[in-house]
Amino acid sequence: MRYLILRRADARTEAGFAPTPEFLAAMGRYRAALERAGVYVYGDGLHASSRGAARLRIDNGEWTVVDGPFAETKELIAGFLIVECDSLAKAIRWAKACPSMAGDGVAEMEVRQIISAADLPAELAPYLANLPWNSVADAAMVAREPEHVCA
């Protein structure tokens, strides 16, 4: 199962501060540990909302777009990581091991399971390969591959 670990933004991440060499080294050790354990899939940090962000909302067919920066940091994401673990408990352990950038302050993370093709009704299988959700579409493409092998 794949899990998304979200690092919530805070005043520090929204201030656009530069990480220290010590923090970057700690993140490098963390990634190496994830890779050694075979759970690392992908991860990235996000710029502060002042560096180009927009919030989109559709309500009865009407789009509203609000440009950043956003004052309310509790709803923003500073970075994310995707891990492949066989349980939520293991994904939580990996989230807890992540260097937080909070120093002695507070940092908040969220761990969410990513939808897989197996989570969806079988009758939807013909539509799954076209989804922009990689884990679902990739599984559907494998299922669609021809049964014969060309020599």
Based on the domain organization, do 140 and 96 belong to the same domain? no
40, pLDDT greater than 80 = yes
Please, what is the average pLDDT of the chain? 82
> How would DSSP label each residue in 65-89?
EEES--S-GGG-EEEEEEEE-SSHH
Given a contact cutoff of 8 angstroms between Cβ atoms, the answer to whether 5 and 78 are in contact is: no
- pLDDT of res. 25: 93
Based on the domain organization, do 42 and 107 belong to the same domain? yes
Q: DSSP character for 36?
A: H
Given a contact cutoff of 8 angstroms between Cβ atoms, the answer to whether 146 and 131 are in contact is: no
Percent of the chain with pLDDT over 70: 83
* Pairwise CA distance, residues 133 & 13, whole Å: 28
When divided into structural domains, the chain yields a total of 2
Mean pLDDT of 125-148: 61
Domain CATH code at residue 84: 3.30.70.1060
Based on the domain organization, do 138 and 105 belong to the same domain? no
Based on the domain organization, do 130 and 102 belong to the same domain? no
Percent of the chain with pLDDT over 90: 38
* Pairwise CA distance, residues 98 & 87, whole Å: 17
Based on the domain organization, do 31 and 79 belong to the same domain? yes
Torsion, Cα of 32, 45, 39, 132 (10° steps) = -150
Based on the domain organization, do 54 and 65 belong to the same domain? yes
pTM: 0.79
144, pLDDT greater than 90 = no
Beta bridge partners of 63: 58
Q: For residue 5, give the nearest of 33, 37, 45 by alpha carbon.
A: 45
What DSSP element (H or E) covers 109? Answer: strand 109-113
Based on the domain organization, do 65 and 88 belong to the same domain? yes
Q: For residue 26, give the nearest of 110, 102, 98 by alpha carbon.
A: 98
Domain assignment of residue 126, given as a range: 116-151
Based on the domain organization, do 145 and 135 belong to the same domain? yes
pLDDT, tens digit, for every residue of 84-126? Answer: 999 999 999 999 998 876 666 678 899 999 988 788 787 887 7
- pLDDT of res. 134: 65
Based on the domain organization, do 71 and 125 belong to the same domain? no
pLDDT, tens digit, for every residue of 56-78? Answer: 889 999 999 988 888 777 778 88
User: Residue 11: exposed, middle, or buried by beta-carbon count in 10 A (0-12, 13-18, 19+)?
Assistant: exposed
